[in-house]
Amino acid sequence: MAPSDTEQQLFDAALTLFARHGKAGARMQAIADEAGLNKAMLHYYFRSKDQLYEAVFGYAMQQFMASFDNALRTASSFGEALRLFIDGYITFCKHHTDAMRLLVNENLRGGSLVGQHLQQLKATAPDAPPQLMLRTIERAVASGEIRPVDADHTLLSIVSGCLFPFIARPTAEVLHPEAAQWDAFVEARKQHLFDLLYHGLRTDTPSA
């Protein structure tokens, strides 16, 4: 069932405002305004604010997971997988900033939605991107391609490096004013992060 135009507009507006102001801070009136419609339509399509939020959150999560899937499966070496993962992650954040913000927000608040959706995902798709990357790391350790690091911590480090600039953008912009051209800064980050992590993980280091 394809959602109607109206429903889609409301949905998009909700994503934007929930991401910007959080679940509690976003106003149904503001969402309706953003969509160029009225509150009654919001309730007509989504019943309540709670249900609207859950729908939006589920969508963000799904969109997020889908964004790496293909990339990761084509990698033929750990280095390539690492680069694809980093590039994919950062590109996703750049183009779907609202979705990312929503996910981080929910995590930060310790909401139960994160656990629910992840558990479900783990059950229905045991080789979703996070697990896939975990196993990629474990294989690379086993084959000696990288040092014997803890896979969970390593994945956390990779993800954090990708996400953090978006989370801490206001701080980053003060510390690094030249980054006024945000897009260039984000692009440069892909390369920096790959270098740092690849050097940090690989077994042998031929001198330059």
Is residue 87 within 8 Å of 190, Cβ to Cβ?
yes
Torsion of CA 93, 94, 96, 97, to 10 degrees: 80
Q: Which stretch binds a copy of itself (CB under 8 A): 8-16, 65-73, 86-94, 165-173?
A: 165-173
What DSSP letter does each residue of 58-106 carry, written as one string? HHHHHHHHHHHHHHHHT--SHHHHHHHHHHHHHHHHHH-HHHHHHHHHH
Report, in Å, the least distance between residue 94 CB and DNA. Answer: 29
Any contact of residue 109 with a copy of itself (CB under 8 A)? yes
Residues 6+ apart with CB under 8 A from 179: 172, 173, 185
| Closer residue to a copy of itself (CB): 38 or 120 | 120
Instruction: Check residue 156 for interaction with a copy of itself (CB under 8 A).
Output: yes
- Three-state SS at 202: strand
Answer yes or no whether residue 43 interacts with a copy of itself by CB under 8 A.
no
E strands along the chain, which residues?
none
C-beta neighbour count of 68 within 10 angstroms:
21
Partner in contact with 28, chosen from a copy of itself, DNA, none, beta carbon below 5 to 8 Å by kind: DNA
* Residue 119's binding partner out of a copy of itself, DNA, none, with CB under 5 to 8 Å set by partner kind: a copy of itself
Is 83 an interacting residue with respect to a copy of itself (CB under 8 A)? no
Site size with a copy of itself, rule: CB under 8 A: 64
- Enumerate binding residues for DNA (CB under 7 A): 4, 6, 26-29, 37-41, 43-44, 47-50
Task: List phi, psi (to 5°) of 176.
Answer: -135, 70
Interacting partner of 44 out of DNA, a copy of itself, none (Cβ under 5 to 8 A depending on kind):
DNA
55: contact with a copy of itself by CB under 8 A: no
Smallest gap from residue 28 Cβ to DNA (A): 3
Is 204 among the residues that bind a copy of itself (CB under 8 A)?
yes
Place of tokens 């740092």: 196
The gap between the terminal CA atoms of the chain, to the nearest Å, is 57
**What's the residue count for the chain?**
208
Binding stretches for a copy of itself (CB under 8 A): 20-25, 101, 104-111, 114-115, 118-119, 122, 130-131, 134, 147, 149-150, 152-157, 159-161, 163-165, 167-176, 179, 188-189, 192-193, 195-201, 203-205, 207
